Amino acid sequence: MLRAVTRTTRRRFAAPATKKKKKKGKGADDDNPQDGATAFYRAILDAPRKTRPKFSEEEARRNFEIGARYNRLSRIKHCEFEAGLQLKLDLQQYALASLPPDLRKQAMSLDDVPLPPLDRRFWALTPPIPGFKPEAYPDDDED
């Protein structure tokens, strides 16, 4: 143990970078500054950092009280939701326990549970676009 502490050599994390030749082909344009995505991400990375505003002691105390109240009410709402869910589970288990054994076995089996329909519609953030046909736009991923 003492040898490890008194060792004088410097620890190296990685070998020095070596220059690599650019590939010709698909991956050659990945770092092209003219590329829109690269420019977008560079703008994000080069953006100046936001500084935290300076609050007076009264504003800081008020912000703390608002945050504490939000946390308390969020916890109460979460606990109410969890209690309601647990009540439903307890009632379900009580109902299953009160059934005769043959009906309990049938009620607990998942054989009769139908799959959701294949054309089931899901909620979306935007309404459907009238006249849009997704078949007209083939996926690029399917190669």
Q: Which residue has the higher pLDDT, 114 or 58?
A: 58
Summarize the confidence of residues 105-109 as an average pLDDT.
88
Q: Which residue has the higher pLDDT, 74 or 6?
A: 74
pLDDT of 34 reads 62
Mean residue pLDDT of the chain comes to 79
pLDDT of 41 reads 86
pLDDT of 21 reads 64
* pLDDT bracket for residue 103 (50, 70, 90): very high
Sequential DSSP letters for 108-142 = H--TTPPPPPTT-----SSPPPTT--GGGS--SS-
What percent of the chain stands above pLDDT 90? 36
Question: Quick check: 135 pLDDT over 60?
Answer: yes
Return the CA Rg of the chain.
Answer: 31
Per this entry, what is the length of the chain?
Answer: 143
